[in-house]
Structure formats: structure tokens, C-alpha cells
Amino acid sequence: MKKADIYIFLVLGLLFNSCQKPDNYLPGRNDNKGQWFEPSPYGMVYIQRGSFNMGPSEDEINIHSQNKTVSVEAFWMDDTEITNNEYRQFVYWVRDSIARKLLGEAFPDYLITVDNNDVPLDNPIINWREKIDWKDTETRMAIDELFIPEHEQLAFIKEIDTRKLIYDYYWVDYKQAAKRNNSYNFETQKYDGSVQNREGEIVPIENRASFLMRESVPVYPDTLSWIRDFAYTYNEPLTLKYFSHAAFDDYPVIGVTWKQANAFCNWRTNLKVTSNSRLKETPAHDFRLPTESEWEMAARGGLQNSVYPWGSYYARNDMGCFVANFKPLRGNYVADSPSTTTTMKAGEFDPNPFGLYDMAGNVAEWTSTAFFEAGYETVDDINPELQYDAKTDDPPVMKRKVVRGGSWKDMAYFIRTSTRTFEYQDTAKSYIGFRCVRSSFRNDLRRR
């Protein structure tokens, strides 16, 4: 055997032995059969992580922001704004959950316990139309408090009191939880309700209750916003029918506050996955409102320094047609869409390069970000976000949340990808809606 062949065998032998697991090797447990993948959430678009220049380009004028290069992790985003039909499901769920508590176990026949495929429902649904016997005195008494009091009824019509449709939920304030006095890096605990940290500082003891937040949110949208926002117009038809009528099912929901939008995201997160939807889907991140940086990155569609989501410097296409629902001409609200003067069906115009509809116009959209004029100078350049949980008694300036995208009532400047405006978190407007996002796992995805 040649000397060179001997060297080759020795090298191969060393490599083989180096790959063997040592005796003290602790193998990982793998219960998953095959490679894990993240399913595509229904109605959502995947936005790959990347970097972009957030804010106006050099040829744009914007008094509220500067241009800044940032990086954002991957996430999923709804391809349209949340519609009336989708938000109405939330309202009905809250209504039915309250009714179930009132009816209790005394009236099991009033519940629908299986779906159309005879699959048991985790949360039974009230059969409002067929099974409830409104002539039965006990039934009426059990559920009576859910309805408008008799002295407030119109022509003695029995209607659900939407003021009583309140959604209760809990959430974790991670900013509060991350404070040093909530950590476990302490050496000495005092009996006076304080602790001494490793630096010798005496700080008060906090417990989990300090960052476990409870919210009680009335969920019914403010349908009167159509009249409140435009005092000298006739918007009563929209007030009466926009949210409730089937003709507006696919129109974006409006009249929701920032807190109501967050409550919807929480409800959507906690919806049970039934066996006929996505079999054995691995639980993923919560649904939430997008951060301002996520929204702008998604709106740009991968196009750097684009003025509008479609990448052009103009609000018309090559045929001279408007490409978004906004106020294109003074007093002429139908120039972009002859069929409507206000909102229109979600997804009527072409999507941006990411496949997202109405990232400009139709309705403006809430983000999770608190609005400060110097926000861009304050936030980090990786996953930038500026949050503030404003309390009821905080001054109005602390309740400002960033609103993006512009709406049907706005001129072209406000539908630019870089334009940032704000609205107060406890207000509901006839031109502001929202869409949800969900963070994605950081591994390479096999999308389908």
C-alpha cells in the first residue's frame, strides 16, 4: 500500500471518530415526526424579515419624522383590513358568552353544541332564532338584563343593549415585568416590603399583579361616529346600517377605538382550533396590532423610497385611473370610485407587491405605537417600537397612537407610505379601522 493511501485512511478514521457522540452526550428528544413547518394563517400574508428606510425620503417633506434605516423581524399580516363581518363575529361571541352565563344550565336546549359537521364546539352558541321561547316567563327573566330597559325602548321593541357587551381579558405588560424590582436577582429580602439588590440599593418588592393587566372593553363599534365626525352632513343611513346590514359585510369596520382593536386581537388569539380547520396546528404567536415600523415595511412592499404602496410617484395608473380610495379632488369623493363616496369593499383595488390590499386609502389603520414627534430619534434600529400604556387619567398627549395609511376622506399626502398621523386611543372615528399581524418564528419557513 502506498504511503499516500495510508495517510488518507488515517484522516478518514480521525474524521469518523470525531463524529461519534461521547458517552456523556445528552440527546435531544424529538417527538415530532418529520420536519416542523409554520402553516400559513388564513387570510394573512407573510412578510419576510429585512431592513428598509423608515420615514420620508429626501424629496418628501414631513415635519414629524426623519429617515432612518431599521431592521424588522418576519411577521404575518392580514391581507385586508378587518371587515364588518369579521368584527361582528367578535360582537356576537361576546353577546353569546354573556347570554350563556345568564341562562346557565337551566336551559340546555337553547344551545347549539356542534357545528355543521357534527363536531363538538368548545363554546356552544345560543340558538337565538329557533329555540329560545320568548313567551316563557323564566327565560325572559333569566336573560332580561341583556336587553335595553323598557323605559329606553323605541316603540317597545326588545333589543340587545350594546352597552352591556363587554369583553374582559388579561394581558402581560412585559415592560413592567422587565423592571429590576420585578426580577429575582436579589440577595436580601427585608420585612418592610423591600429588597436589597446586588448593588446595595433598597427597592420595593413587586409581584406578578403589578404587570398582569385586566381590561374590560365595550366591544360594539361607535356607529354614531358617522354623524359625530361630520356634523353638517346627512350620514344617518350609514349610522343605521353600515355595521349591521349584510350589504356592508365586506367593508372595513370603523368606529372602533384602539382598545377595541386590541381586544379583537386577543379574542382572535384565543379562538379554539377545531378539528376541521387546521389539524394539530402548532400554537404560534398572538395576534396583535402592527408596530409602526411593521406597518410601513409591509406598505412599501419591498420597494425602497417608494412614495405610495404601488411604487409610483403618482396616485393614477397608466390609464389615468386612480388606484386607491381617497379624496382625489376638492369636494369630489367619487372621482376614484363612482360607486361610493366613503368606504368601499376591502380589496377592490390591486394589492401592493406583498399582496396586501388597501395599504393606502379606504380607512386609516391603528398601530400599536405611541405617537411622539421625536419617535424616530427615540426608538432602536432593530424592531423599533415605542409603547405606552396610557391610563384613564393620563393627559391626552399620552394617549396618542400612530395611525397610518390615510382614508377615504384624506387627500393624497396622507396615503403616502411615510406619512404618520395620530389619534387618541379612546376615540372612535368613521375613517379609522385596523388589521392584525402575528409574529413569525425565526427559522426558515416551508410555506404552503
List, in order of start, the domains of the chain with CATH numbers.
59-83+244-448 (3.90.1580.10), 174-210 (no CATH)
Q: How confident is the model at residue 176 (pLDDT cuts 50, 70, 90)?
A: confident
pLDDT recorded at residue 274: 42
Distance (Å, rounded) from C-alpha 101 to C-alpha 327? Answer: 47
Q: How confident is the model at residue 78 (pLDDT cuts 50, 70, 90)?
A: very high
DSSP string computed for 227-243: HHH-TTS--HHHHHHTT
* 49 or 66, higher pLDDT: 49
Distance (Å, rounded) from C-alpha 170 to C-alpha 213? Answer: 5
* 88 or 41, higher pLDDT: 88
User: What is the mean predicted confidence (pLDDT) over 85-99?
Assistant: 91
CA 427 to chain centre: 17
The answer on pLDDT for 15 being more than 60 is no
The number of beta carbons lying within 10 Å of the beta carbon of residue 336 is: 22
Q: How confident is the model at residue 17 (pLDDT cuts 50, 70, 90)?
A: low
Per-range mean pLDDT, top range of 105-109, 111-115, 192-196: 111-115
Annotate 140-180 with three-state secondary structure: HHHHHHHECCHHHCCCCCCCECHHHCEEEEEEECHHHHCCH
Contact 405, 361 (CB under 8 A): yes
**Cell digits of residue 294:** 411593521
The answer on pLDDT for 124 being more than 80 is no
DSSP 204: E
Distance (Å, rounded) from C-alpha 293 to C-alpha 53? Answer: 10
Instruction: Read off the pLDDT of residues 185-238 as tens digits, 9 standing for 90 and up.
Output: 444 444 445 555 445 565 555 566 677 888 899 999 999 999 999 988 999 999
* 414 or 139, higher pLDDT: 414
Quick one: which of 263, 289, 219, 244 has its CA closest to 435? 289
Distance (Å, rounded) from C-alpha 242 to C-alpha 26? Answer: 61
Instruction: Read off the pLDDT of residues 353-389 as tens digits, 9 standing for 90 and up.
Output: 999 999 999 999 999 999 988 888 888 888 999 998 8
pLDDT recorded at residue 155: 80
The answer on pLDDT for 281 being more than 70 is no
Give the least confident one: 18-22, 244-248, 303-307, 368-372: 18-22
pLDDT recorded at residue 365: 98
The answer on pLDDT for 29 being more than 50 is yes
pLDDT recorded at residue 174: 83
Q: How confident is the model at residue 86 (pLDDT cuts 50, 70, 90)?
A: very high
- pLDDT cut 70: percent of the chain above it: 75
pLDDT recorded at residue 277: 43
pTM of the model: 0.81
The answer on pLDDT for 62 being more than 80 is no
pLDDT recorded at residue 181: 63
